[in-house]
Amino acid sequence: MNLLRPAPLALAFALAACGQPTADQAALENAAEQSTPEAAAVLENAAEQGANVQQAMEAAGNAQAATVAPPAQQAKPHAPGDPVPPPKVPAGNSH
């Protein structure tokens, strides 16, 4: 028996596995389609490398959280002479 040549059955299984993404790879690619570009890059890279899904999702979440901008408008500080409590403003009116 020649140990340098793989068994035909093992070779057939290996070739069949190469073309089909695993469930983990499919899950990571699906998550990448729904993510920010930074998180998608992490997830796609993890899918290509066959990384652990949970670790890849955590890394993508960290990448996404690092790029999220703070709110555009912050609360207005109370100035002397402003009524206490402040007047009620209808929802959706920022002025």
Q: Which of 25, 28, 88, 14 is nearest to 6 (CA)?
A: 14
Report yes or no on 55 lying in a domain: yes
* pLDDT tens per residue across span 1-57: 444 444 333 333 443 445 567 888 888 888 899 988 999 999 999 988 988 999 999
3-state secondary structure of 16: helix
Report yes or no on 75 lying in a domain: no
Report yes or no on 81 lying in a domain: no
Report yes or no on 34 lying in a domain: yes
Q: Which of 2-11, 20-29, 64-73, 80-89 has the highest mean pLDDT?
A: 20-29
Report yes or no on 91 lying in a domain: no
Number of domains in the chain: 1
Report yes or no on 24 lying in a domain: yes
Classify residue 85 by its DSSP letter.
S
Structure tokens at 67: 């790029």
CB-based contact 87:66 (threshold 8 Å) = no
Report yes or no on 90 lying in a domain: no
Burial per residue of 67-86, b for 16 or more beta-carbon CB atoms within 10 angstroms, e otherwise: eeeeeeeeeeeeeeeeeeee
Q: For residue 40, what are the domain limits?
A: 20-67
Find tokens 């729904």 and name the residue.
Answer: 34
pTM (2 decimals)? 0.50
Report yes or no on 84 lying in a domain: no
